[in-house]
Structure 1
Amino acid sequence: MAHNPVESFPIIAITSGEPAGIGPDIILTALNEQTFSARLIILADPELLKERALALGITADIQTLNKPGDAKAHKQGTISVLPIQMAKKATAGTLDIANSAYVLETLKQAGEGCIRKEFDAIVTPPVHKGILCETGVHFSGHTEFFQAQCQSPHVVMMLATEAMKVALVTTHLPLKDVSAAITEQSISLVVKALNQDLQEKFGVAQPKILVCGLNPHAGEDGHLGREEIDVIIPTLNKLRQEGLNLIGPLPADTLFTPKYLNDADCALAMYHDQGLPVLKYSGFGNAVNITLGLPIIRTSVDHGTAIDLAGTGKANNGSLKVAIQHAINMANNAKKFSK
């Protein structure tokens, strides 16, 4: 099969994550083990990667770029870096507030590069929210950072494995607040953004979306709660009239079975712990976090900074590899859709 010329390979920006965590480790090991059909650019301090490679016993060809357009197709063992200098040398396993501005700068430059079309997608290893917030800057997460940077009115959190995709109507809310947050507006915004990005970024012409009910047994005709009758069903019916292919609301305890999942493109859960435990059980360490509803493509790993594993060589890079591959696939699909 003929391959696309290198010039058509998407340019993927990869931020370095928390420098004291496993972000540098998984970048180095993933790019040292595998060749990706893309031009991969690490936004990082080159010295951080060189020192971590030495600690891990990795021989990597670390090349510094002047601009994104200088990037060549990735090949195993080659690390192309767009340099951003840290304020202080990082020590694996030891957080340092002095480098918080550096972490935020990598995200800022990645987002700006995507907005300027210098990058086709962003992949983000984990950051440490606590150390970032200690600077006085409120940092609630990558999702909110890029939402603000792109001035996007609404974004959707999706996690994906090879077997399933799960998106969320609400994300990090206390369980007692979820019911009030399930409204016609919130469901409609999420479903429309999800449907659009499945078309534009995943190449699904007519997405089929499974929708969870909120209550056990999807409310059992109102006996176990009325949110389905009062809000969810009427909203889904309106969206169906607009041409969307929505199945449900279905009981969450039966939706996540092959009978339904094998014939659908995505499941939509009403709250965080309704859908994500199933997905993480089936694919933790090989799942990817995807932000939908942005004008740019952003994927991320499904785990945290694992400060205690930094520099030990024990960090699992599986999720990063999946996040990179998803970013490549989504960038290629977006290019096809725009033609």
Structure 2
Amino acid sequence: MPVILGIESSCDETSASVCVDGRILSNVIANQTIHEAYGGVVPELASRVHQQNIVPAVQQALLNAKVNKNDIDAVAFTRGPGLLGSLLVGVSFAKAFALAKNLPLIDINHMQAHILAHFIGDHNPSFPFLCLTVSGGHTQIVLVKDYFDMEVIGQTLDDAAGEAMDKTSKILGLPYPGGPLIDKYARQGNPEAYAFPEPQIPGLDFSFSGLKTAILYFIRDNVAQNPDFISQNLPDICASVEKRIATILLNKLQKAAQAHGIKQIALAGGVSANTGLREGLQALCAKNGWESFIPKMEYCTDNAAMIAIAGYYKYLKGEFAGQEIAPLARMIF
């Protein structure tokens, strides 16, 4: 009955989790509000706040799980991808903790962990399945053949879907983080109010740079004619942007599912918390007779529970890292 301590520090959430025999007993997330004043994550500030948060987060995770640090069998941590300074804090803590307690280390790919979050709880997909993994920095369609046998069959050629939402929020003058606010206003708006272009990218790859430019010019031109255009039409703008981003993602996902003959479809990553995308996936699966899988909201954004569950499956395989391991800002499957 392995007890895994999971550590996540890839961006601006410091998180710790305890997994016992494949069950998540705690998942503590310390958010960083310091970045709100700057309209985005400041890497140096993020790493400093991680240093302040990591020990209390781990202590609270152990308390919530009612597990003693002496009961831990291994320490799993995010190696990458992410902000190098942020990763360094989590990796250094994990290595020090493991060294002090003579425990094995388990390095985890952050994007694989997002996918393996689907194995927290009882409603799990079966292999093989497709996973649309969408975050601020990544947009991928992944063919998942086993826990650590994953193939990226489609990905963004430039910007990620999360970046398109973040850029839109800035254009609209919304405070950081803007993604949840776009989701909030979109619930009140008409998604058919404005038509934004869908990039014509062949195959299963994505592109969002052109959409970002189209949104920028649309807002610029309409504000030039009516300075109050944004305030008067904010819900409709958000709903229309959200719908276009969701349809771009889901059209490619449907194409991938049909090409590979797969009926188990999953959604993961920070943008999977978006209501419109979640509802769109469920509607797409219902239409095609597929089964959809979406993690609980707390496991969509960056969290250590997904690191701990990934660590659990690596522990069963006996795949451990040495003390010489270093974080990687860029990391592929």
Question: TM (normalized to structure 1)?
Answer: 0.30
| Higher helix residue share | 2
Question: TM (normalized to structure 2)?
Answer: 0.31
